[in-house]
């Protein structure tokens, strides 16, 4: 009951914050956010002056995609070089050497694609310079890229008979300057007030209260505690659905997430912009009801996995039933006491509902069904909230398919927001939905078949299979969380997962922009009584059904061989009836 109150409060606060933010973002992309422009306008104009970006430039879908890809490629290259050369660069107090080329490539792709899959341990691999100039910068830019694509798609719906979608440079700049920067400053401040560290110092060394004997027989008297500009990075990593932690333990680390309140704030930050973008879309297409329908769809997709995860984690580990352990607190392996099972379950579902991927508990140690929930949310294609921008455009691709099927059933050729959907849009939407799923299935199969794939798992039996399935689900859907028992630092995983991340991000973006361009060129069809209304609860149900059905049809066999078998087996080991 207490958990339900917490979940209810969370979604209530989320709505209250997301609605006005969504409308504000719509004004930002329309260049109508007058108050913000008075404050930050000089910065925006200054950027345009130096870079030669023209405010009134109009790009075709092809040009938009080309600029986007070129910009992301350049960004990834910078991250790669920073990692490789950090040994020769300043701001490296711990004198860390260059990163392994495969891990560096994986990390560059991961941060540029808004995945933030971490094949490295944060506090032991990256210099502060790499973290700041490479990773933090990409946290902003990859998020702004996703939002720009969503804005371009919205313009595709609004514009009539137009060949252009706006300027990528302007959308990128506006999203970063007017949305991400102020929110990050705000959240970073709030997080520091809770104890998240923010300093340019490398570490502190403290004297242990109780010196310890190490396994090697040496006496340990000190604890070296790494520090860094953590709050500034955590703020954007949550807001931008990036999820790449400063520390290896990510948001389970007390310096990233010290209190229940900081936890609540970060949870809010994870879904804030993806939720707000629903309302942004409603606002941009001049139909706020559509924004609500998209938002409700997302919430409805998240609630059942959340409850499943919460119930399963709270239920504890049945294999421990005979050991005389009080499991009232639930399954606590890999969890922090200050969060507990319910809050950790909320985080696990929220971070995978959004393509955030930061964790405040170790998913690998979740109960089978508790781990199934986040995996399932990723496999749905990261459309229930999803990444900033990417969740919205992903769900709209599903909406295209849903409208098509529903349109067939009511005997009308499908229309969405006044745009007639034809074979071309269907083809693009099908590819968007298909490719990440294909990457997950095929990637996992290859990992199963190759020794280099099999050898890296930590857990035996079906759980080992889950680790591989989770990794590919996470990468291909740009989430970034992991069943971290899997050691993904070898060549096979760094390359295979990089490929999945590239497909899940850029392949999808190119097709989404193609749809945006095609829609923009069409004239609007007037709404009549026979138009299938797409701003009703009925349509939300249809959309939910479409997302669930496609996800279920694709992943039921794989899930059956991973978490489902493990769950049934756990029930059998515990001696209880399944």
Partner 1 sequence: MKKQRSTLSMFDKALVVRAFKDAARKLDPRTLYKNPVMFVVEIGSAFTTLLFLHALATAAGEASPWFILAVSLWLWFTVLFGNFAEAMAEGRGKAQADTLRRARADVPARRLAEPRRDAPVEEVLSALLRRGDLVLVAAGDLIPGDGEVIDGIASVDESAITGESAPVIRESGGDRTAVTGGTRVLSDWIIVRITADPGETFLDRMIAMVEGAKRQKTPNEIALSILLAALTIVFLLATVTLLAYSTYAVGAAGSGTPVTMTVLVALLVCLIPTTIGGLLSAIGIAGMDRMVQANVLATSGRAVEAAGDVDVLLLDKTGTITLGNREAVALIPAKGVKERALADAAQLASLADETPEGRSIVVLAKKKFGLRGRDLRSLSASFVPFSAHTRMSGVDVDGKQIRKGAADAIDRFVGEHGGVVPSEVQEIVAELCRGGATPLLVAQGKQVLGVVHLKDIVKGGIKDRFAQMRRLGIRTVMITGDNPLTASAIAAEAGVDDFLAEATPERKLALIRQYQQEGHLVAMTGDGTNDAPALAQADVAVAMNSGTQAAKEAGNMVDLDSNPTKLLDIVAIGKQMLMTRGALTTFSISNDVSKYFAIIPAAFATTYPELGSLNVMGLHSPQTAVLSAVIFNALIIVGLIPLALRGIKAIDLLLRWMAV
Partner 2 sequence: MAQLLRPLLSSLLLFSALFGFAYPAAVTALASLAFPSKAGGSVVLVGQEAVGSSLIGQPFTRPESFWGRPSATAPSAYNASASGGSNLGPLHPRLLKAIEARVEALRPFDPEHARPIPIDLVTASGSGLDPHISKEAAFYQVQRVARSRGLSEKAVRSLVEQHVEGLWPGVFDEPRVNVLLLNLDLKNMEQTGVE
Contacts to partner 1 by CB under 8 A: 401, 404-413, 418, 420-423, 426-427, 430-431, 433-434, 437-438, 441-442, 444-446, 448-449, 454, 460-462, 464-465, 523-526, 528-531, 538, 549-550, 552-558, 560-561, 564-565, 568-569, 571-572, 578
Residues from 18 through 37 that contact partner 2 (CB under 8 A): none
Cα separation of 332 and 339, whole Å? 10
Residue 45 is encoded by which pair of tokens? 């104009």
Under 8 Å between Cβ of 122 and 483: no
12 sits near partner 2 (criterion: CB under 8 A): no
The verdict on 336 binding partner 2 (CB under 8 A) reads yes
- Is 405 a binder of partner 2 (CB under 8 A)? no
Q: What does residue 527 show for φ and ψ, rounded to 5 degrees? A: -80, 135
> CB under 8 A: which stretch of 109-117, 185-193, 416-424, 511-519 binds partner 2?
185-193
Binding partner selected for residue 549 from partner 1, partner 2, none, CB under the kind-specific 5 to 8 Å limit: partner 1
Does residue 75 interact with partner 2 by CB under 8 A?
Answer: yes
Q: What's phi and psi for 30, nearest 5 deg?
A: -90, 0
Q: Tell me how far, at minimum, the Cβ of 20 lies from partner 1, in Å.
A: 33
Contact stretch for partner 2 (CB under 8 A) within 189-197, 284-292, 300-308, 489-497: 189-197
User: Angle at the Cα of 144 (from 140 to 147), degrees rounded to 5?
Assistant: 145
SS3 (DSSP) at 411: coil
**One character per residue 460-479, x = contact with partner 2 (rule: CB under 8 A):** xx-x--x-------------
Gap between the Cα atoms of 476 and 435, Å rounded: 9
Binding part of the chain for partner 2, among 150-158, 173-181, 528-536, 538-546 by CB under 8 A, reads: 173-181
Residue 362 touches which of partner 2, partner 1, none (Cβ within 5-8 Å per kind): partner 2
Assign 262 to helix, strand or coil: helix
Contact present, 18 and 160 (Cβ < 8 Å): no
Among 12, 55, 70, 449, binds partner 2 (CB under 8 A): 70
Q: Give the one residue of 173, 297, 352, 479 binding partner 2; rule: CB under 8 A.
A: 173
Q: How far is the CB of 477 from partner 1 (least distance, A)?
A: 15
Strand partners, 225: 204
Stretch binding partner 2 (CB under 8 A), from 15-23, 268-276, 360-368, 390-398: 360-368
Q: Which residues pair with 420 in a beta bridge?
A: 415
Stretch near partner 2 under the rule CB under 8 A, chosen from 11-19, 33-41, 323-331, 398-406: 323-331
Instruction: Provide the minimum distance between the beta carbon of 321 and partner 1 in the complex, in angstroms, as a whole number.
Output: 18
Compute the C-alpha angle 12/15/18, nearest 5°: 145
Among 225, 405, 450, 556, interactor with partner 2 by CB under 8 A = 225
**Cα(390)–Cα(274) distance, integer angstroms:** 8
- CB nearer to partner 1: give 128 or 414: 414
- Classify residue 376 by burial, with Cβ atoms within 10 Å: 0-12, 13-18, 19+: buried
Angstrom distance (rounded) from CA 107 to CA 114: 11
C-alpha of 414 from chain center: 30
Residues 489-548 that bind partner 2 (CB under 8 A): none
Which CB sits closer to partner 1, 358 or 444? 444
Least Cα distance to 397 among 436, 442, 444, 429 occurs for 429
232 binds partner 2 (CB under 8 A): yes
Contacts of 6 (CB under 8 A, 6+ apart): 342, 343, 346
Q: Shortest approach of partner 2 to residue 111 CB, angstroms?
A: 12
> Whose Cβ is closer to partner 1: residue 201's or residue 422's?
422
Give strand pairing partners of 222.
207
Candidates 194, 287, 489, 531; binder of partner 2 (CB under 8 A) is: 194
In angstroms, the CA 466 to CA 509 distance is 28
Instruction: Tell me: does residue 300 bind partner 2 (CB under 8 A).
Output: no
Instruction: Please state the closest distance from residue 510 (CB atom) to partner 2, in A.
Output: 17
Residue 121 partner contact from partner 2, partner 1, none using kind-dependent CB cut-offs of 5 to 8 Å: partner 2
Token pair in block for residue 341:
């099972």
Q: Under a CB-based contact definition with an 8 Å cutoff, are residues 5 and 11 in contact? A: no
Please give the Cα distance from 534 to 272 (Å, whole number). Answer: 24
**456, two tokens:** 């890296």
Q: Look at the chain and count its residues.
A: 578
Binding mask 253-292 for partner 2 (x = CB under 8 A): xxx--xxxx--x----------------------------
Among 37, 110, 145, 184, binds partner 2 (CB under 8 A): 184
Binding partner 2 (rule: CB under 8 A), the pick from 20, 42, 212, 449 is: 212
**431 contacts which partner out of partner 2, partner 1, none, CB within 5 to 8 A by kind?**
partner 1
Pairing of strands 419-420, 415-416: antiparallel
247 lies in the binding site for partner 2 (CB under 8 A): yes
Which residue from 243, 244, 59 is spatially nearest to 151, judged by alpha carbons? Answer: 59
Tell me how far, at minimum, the Cβ of 469 lies from partner 1, in Å. 8
Q: In this structure, are residues 11 and 299 in contact, taking their beta carbons and an 8 Å threshold?
A: yes
56 binds partner 2 (CB under 8 A): no
Closer to partner 2 at the Cβ: 15 or 227? 227
Q: How far is the CB of 498 from partner 1 (least distance, A)?
A: 20
**Binding residues among 90-129 for partner 2 as defined by CB under 8 A:** 121, 123-124
Which of 398, 395, 555, 387 is CA-nearest to residue 481?
Answer: 387
Region for residue 195 given its phi and psi (left: phi exceeds 0; alpha: psi -120 to 50; beta: otherwise): left
């Amino acid at each position: 009951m207490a958990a339900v109150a917490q979940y209810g409060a969370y979604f209530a606060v989320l709505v209250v914050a997301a609605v006005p933010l969504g409308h504000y973002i719509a004004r930002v992309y329309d260049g109508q956010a007058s108050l913000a422009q008075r404050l930050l306008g000089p910065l925006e104009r200054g950027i345009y002056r130096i870079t030669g970006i023209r405010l009134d430039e109009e790009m075709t879908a092809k040009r938009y995609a080309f600029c986007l890809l070129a910009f992301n490629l350049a960004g990834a290259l910078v991250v790669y070089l920073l990692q490789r050369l950090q040994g020769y660069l300043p701001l490296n107090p711990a004198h860390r050497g260059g990163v392994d080329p495969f891990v560096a490539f994986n990390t560059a792709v991961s941060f540029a694609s808004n995945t933030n899959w971490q094949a490295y341990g944060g506090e032991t691999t990256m210099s502060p310079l790499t973290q700041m100039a490479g990773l933090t910068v990409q946290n902003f830019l990859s998020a702004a890229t996703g939002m720009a694509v969503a804005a371009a798609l919205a313009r595709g719906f609004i514009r009539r008979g137009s060949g252009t979608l706006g300027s990528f440079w302007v959308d990128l700049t506006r999203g970063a300057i007017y949305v991400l920067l102020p929110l990050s400053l705000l959240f970073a401040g709030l997080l520091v007030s809770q104890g998240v560290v923010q300093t340019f110092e490398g570490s502190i060394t403290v004297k242990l209260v109780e010196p310890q004997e190490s396994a090697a027989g040496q006496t340990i008297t000190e604890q070296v505690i790494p520090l860094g500009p953590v709050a500034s990075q955590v703020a954007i990593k949550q807001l931008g659905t990036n999820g790449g932690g400063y520390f290896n333990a990510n948001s389970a680390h007390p310096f990233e997430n010290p209190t229940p309140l900081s936890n609540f704030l970060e949870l809010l930050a994870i879904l804030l912009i993806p939720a707000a973008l629903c309302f942004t879309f409603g606002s941009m297409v001049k139909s706020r009801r559509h924004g609500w329908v998209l938002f409700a769809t997302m919430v409805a997709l998240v609630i059942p996995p959340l409850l499943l995860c919460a119930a399963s984690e709270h239920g504890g580990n049945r294999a421990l039933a005979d050991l005389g352990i009080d499991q009232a607190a639930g399954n606590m392996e890999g969890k922090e006491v200050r969060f507990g099972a319910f809050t950790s379950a909320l985080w696990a579902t929220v971070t995978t509902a959004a393509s955030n991927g930061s964790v405040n508990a170790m998913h690998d140690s979740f109960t089978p069904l508790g781990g199934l929930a986040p995996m399932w949310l990723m496999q749905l294609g990261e459309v229930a909230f999803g990444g900033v921008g990417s969740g919205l455009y992903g769900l709209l691709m599903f909406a295209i398919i849903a409208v098509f099927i529903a349109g067939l059933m009511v005997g009308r050729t499908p229309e969405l927001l006044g745009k007639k959907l034809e074979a071309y849009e269907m083809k693009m939407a099908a590819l968007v939905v298909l490719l990440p799923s294909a990457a997950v299935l095929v990637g996992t199969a290859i990992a199963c078949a190759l020794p280099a794939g099999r050898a890296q798992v930590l857990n035996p039996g079906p759980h080992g299979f889950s680790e591989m399935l989770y990794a590919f689900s996470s990468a291909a859907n740009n989430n970034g969380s992991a069943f971290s028992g899997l050691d993904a630092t070898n060549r096979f995983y760094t390359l295979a997962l990089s490929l999945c991340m590239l497909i899940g991000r850029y392949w999808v973006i190119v097709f989404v922009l193609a749809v945006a361009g095609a829609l923009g060129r069409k004239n609007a069809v007037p709404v009549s009584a026979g138009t299938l209304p797409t701003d009703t609860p009925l349509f939300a149900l249809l959309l939910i059904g479409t997302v669930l059905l496609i996800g279920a049809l694709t992943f039921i066999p794989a899930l059956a061989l991973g978490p489902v078998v493990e769950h049934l087996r756990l029930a059998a080991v515990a001696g209880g009836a399944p």
